[in-house]
């Protein structure tokens, strides 16, 4: 079974930060999806390095992607560069959070 980028994005859209009613994909927390021959690597960040749910969300990402990746191992890399900012959010996320008039 071959996993597609869209399969992974669909899995990521099911993962929410409990404090923000928007999924991590639309929040712009996922910086890269690399589907390699030997593993799938997800590079992601958080809105804050002190996020109290960080470990739980990282585990949810690994499990969620693994559920569609089949036998391929999944690695989640936490990165802080570039720092996350509001402009990384999708239009849908800005609408959900009522940030549409912010000029992003």
Domain boundaries, the chain: 5-85
**DSSP H or E run through 74:** strand 74-78
This prediction has a pTM of 0.89
Query: 49-93 pLDDT, tens per residue?
Result: 999 999 999 999 999 999 999 889 999 999 999 999 999 999 989
104 confidence band (pLDDT: 50, 70, 90):
very low
Query: Which CATH code fits 5-85?
Result: 3.30.300.130
Can you tell me the distance from the alpha carbon of 79 to that of 72, in angstroms, rounded to the nearest whole number?
22
19 confidence band (pLDDT: 50, 70, 90):
confident
Q: How confident is the model at residue 61, as a pLDDT?
A: 98
């Amino acid at each position: 079974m071959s996993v597609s980028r869209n399969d992974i994005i669909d899995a990521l859209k099911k993962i929410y930060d409990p404090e923000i009613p928007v999924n991590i994909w639309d929040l712009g927390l996922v910086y890269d999806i690399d589907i390699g021959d030997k593993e799938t690597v997800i590079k992601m960040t958080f809105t804050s390095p002190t996020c109290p749910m960080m470990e739980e969300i990282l585990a949810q990402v690994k499990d969620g992607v693994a559920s569609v990746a089949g036998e391929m191992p999944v690695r989640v890399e936490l990165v802080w560069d570039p720092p996350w900012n509001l402009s990384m959010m999708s239009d849908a996320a800005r609408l959900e959070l009522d940030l549409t008039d912010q000029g992003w």
